Amino acid sequence: MEQTEYAYDAASERDGLKPCYTVDKTVYRSGVSDAVACDWQADGYRLPTEAEWEAAARGGLVGKRFPWGDTISQERANYIAGPREGYEESQTAGHHPQFALVGAAGTSRVKTFPPNGYGLYDMAGNVSQWCWDWFGNYPEKPTPDPKGPAKGSLRILRGGHWNNAAVRATCGFRVTGFPTLASTNVGFRLARRETSQTADQRCRRTFTIG
């Protein structure tokens, strides 16, 4: 993950946007650093905060377990199915049979499963997704647009993946990882600051665990 930030900056500069990430107030273009800062007013690409990720994953639904509702099956996501949770509705068990080839499971192609209410794919299962936030406790009361602790040793991943059970695919499940983690079951998404062009899609993002 430590090298994804400068990939975001490179993509931002390519597209004529202001890069979000800096090290010592200089655009982060190479190397590995634990002193990366984010300019939240920049219009370039960046990792979503944990709160942004959860709001995006829920797709406009309120109080639901998954991006589409309260139950899950392998018709909707790539994960390990099993009878351990009462909200499991799969007719199959174990790794997703469509992606378990020669005894080895793996990722599925984007758009294999239906999108959520915001038109986003694979917000549950397939690969876990990095968030900007360092791991830590959030205020007990809802807080608009929190950005996590100022420092830490572990970052947040969300969404579960192809080698996880259904519980980790729920919208509110949190896991952590060292920023150096690289794996076939971990990925990331692009996020950008809201601009005047997206004002009609504005939403108030509030972080909750559930």
Q: pLDDT tens digits for 61-78?
A: 999 999 999 999 999 999
Model pLDDT, residue 6: 66
Alpha carbon of residue 147 to chain centroid: 14
Strand segments, DSSP code E, in 118-197 are 128-134, 155-158, 174-177, 186-187
**49: DSSP letter:** P
Residue located via tokens 């090290």: 23
Model pLDDT, residue 15: 94
Q: Tell whether the model's pLDDT for residue 207 goes beyond 50.
A: no
pTM metric for this prediction? 0.87
Do residues 194 and 178 lie in contact, with contact meaning Cβ atoms separated by under 8 Å? no
Model pLDDT, residue 162: 95
Q: Tell whether the model's pLDDT for residue 108 goes beyond 60.
A: yes
* β-bridge pairing 186-187 and 128-134: parallel
Model pLDDT, residue 185: 92
pLDDT digits (tens, 9 = 90+) for 153-201: 999 999 999 999 999 999 999 999 998 898 989 999 999 988 765 444 4
* β-bridge pairing 174-177 and 155-158: antiparallel
Q: Tell whether the model's pLDDT for residue 33 goes beyond 90.
A: no
Q: Bridge-partner residues for 153, per DSSP?
A: none
The SS3 of residue 91 is: coil
Calculate ∠ Cα 2-50-67, nearest 5°: 120
Q: How far apart are CA 185 and CA 189, in angstroms?
A: 14
In Å, the largest CA–CA distance within the chain is 53
Tell me the percentage of the chain whose pLDDT exceeds 90. 62
| Residue of higher predicted confidence among 88 and 201 | 88
The one-letter amino acid code at 91 reads: Q
